[in-house]
Amino acid sequence: MATASLVPDIDDMVKAASPQKRADAMLKISGLFRQGASQFRPQHVDLFDGILTGLMSNTDVGARAELAVQMADIANAPPKLVNRLVRDDEIRIAGPLLRQSPLVDEDTLTDIARAKGQAHLLAMSGRTILTAPVTDIIIRRGERDVIRGVAGNEGAKFSPIGYSSLVKRAADDGVLAISIGQRGDLSATHLKQLMNTSVDLVRRRLFEVASPARKAAINQVLDDIPGADALEDSERDFNQAQRAVLALHRTGRLDEAKLFEFAKDYKYDVTVAALAMMTGVKVGIVDHLMTGDRHDPVLIMGKSIGLGWATVRALIVLRTGVARTPAAASLEEARGNYERLVPVTAQRVLNFWKSRKV
């Protein structure tokens, strides 16, 4: 038995050895355990549990993090050791076990989800299986990256309350809305709530990536939403908008004031066509940039053609939809980024977009 030679003098090592020697011994023994784990009986696992738990005290973060990685995917890992490691405040130690250890049960996950910070919640959100009691806590406490992570996890289950909370969070987060809309377990009720709180641009993007059955369900719920139009499986047609913009351009009336007017009136198609004409970027690419996850492309296009902040702000607001305004903090961050953006840099990016194919 491999453990026989490890037992003598282990108490002396725990009491007297330096932290470095203890760490070295701990990792050597954990390596032996990993090699033979599939053959060990419960009494052998208990023996390793006592040895490794004793050696772990006062070892440095790096050694404990390596130990956690070694134990993370072992189904019969020493349970007391795993329980101590997974509850560690240091995410380098707890993270590997939170992400994949089969020994971390629902009660432990709920305890950690209530007590630890965003890094622990994010690691937990990627587990192969997450039960509804755990995701309820994650959704209640998690920030944006955590919420997006758990919403995109196919192995996560959500309670009706959890789903309602997710949908509410998605009202200001198009990326989250698209993740939720693609989930196979999304009920018709929650799909309707999601569509009702999503702007047209998000609805279109979700429709583009949805399965045929989900596309039919989306159009069915849109029929019940006042002012919402059914969506079709085709590229958006900008031909009419382009003709109108071309007429303005030929008569010298296409300028920043006209662009501002289009954006302020939420005329999306003609705004995109005007931006395409003014920047020289293909209309399909401008459409793709306008419906992206970030405001940065709008800032770059605006800076490259010398738009004032008021017009750029109107373009950003247009992205969020009628009667909705981005959060004040988001607009202020965008304004600061726009002021710092160097025109030469913006023009360089614009030239790259001009060379792209739709």
**The two structure tokens encoding residue 258:** 């006209």
pLDDT tens, residue by residue, 157-194: 999 999 999 999 998 888 899 889 888 899 999 999 99
Highest mean pLDDT among 127-131, 266-270, 293-297: 127-131
Cα–Cα distance for residue pair 246/242, rounded to 1 Å? 6
Q: Is residue 29 part of a domain?
A: yes
Question: Residue 329 pLDDT more than 90?
Answer: no
pLDDT tens, residue by residue, 25-76: 999 999 999 999 999 999 999 999 999 999 998 899 999 999 999 999 999 9
Last residue of a domain, one of 73, 104, 135: 104
Q: Is residue 204 part of a domain?
A: no
- Fill in the amino acid letter for 111: D
Last residue of a domain, one of 71, 104, 137: 104
Residue 5 DSSP code:
G
Long-range CB contacts for residues 110-118, cutoff 8 Å, separation at least 24: 110/134, 110/137, 111/87, 112/86, 112/87, 113/137, 113/138, 113/141, 114/141, 116/89, 118/142, 118/143, 118/145, 118/146
Decide: helix, strand or coil at residue 156: strand
Q: Is residue 246 part of a domain?
A: yes
Cα–Cα distance for residue pair 181/191, rounded to 1 Å? 7
pTM of the model: 0.65
Q: Is residue 208 part of a domain?
A: no
Domain that holds residue 50: 1-104
Q: Is residue 155 part of a domain?
A: no
Last residue of a domain, one of 51, 76, 104: 104
Q: Is residue 109 part of a domain?
A: no
- How many Cβ atoms from other residues are within 10 Å of residue 348's Cβ? 12
Q: Supply the DSSP string of 39-97, one letter for each residue.
A: G--HHHHHHHHHHHHHHHTT--HHHHHHHHHHHTT-TT--HHHHHHHHT-S-HHHHHHH
Residue 127 DSSP code:
-
Structural domains of the chain, count: 2
Going from the C-alpha of 345 to that of each of 40, 164, 340, 352, the distances in angstroms are: 61, 42, 11, 11
Q: Is residue 307 part of a domain?
A: yes
Cα–Cα distance for residue pair 61/172, rounded to 1 Å? 38
Q: Is residue 59 part of a domain?
A: yes
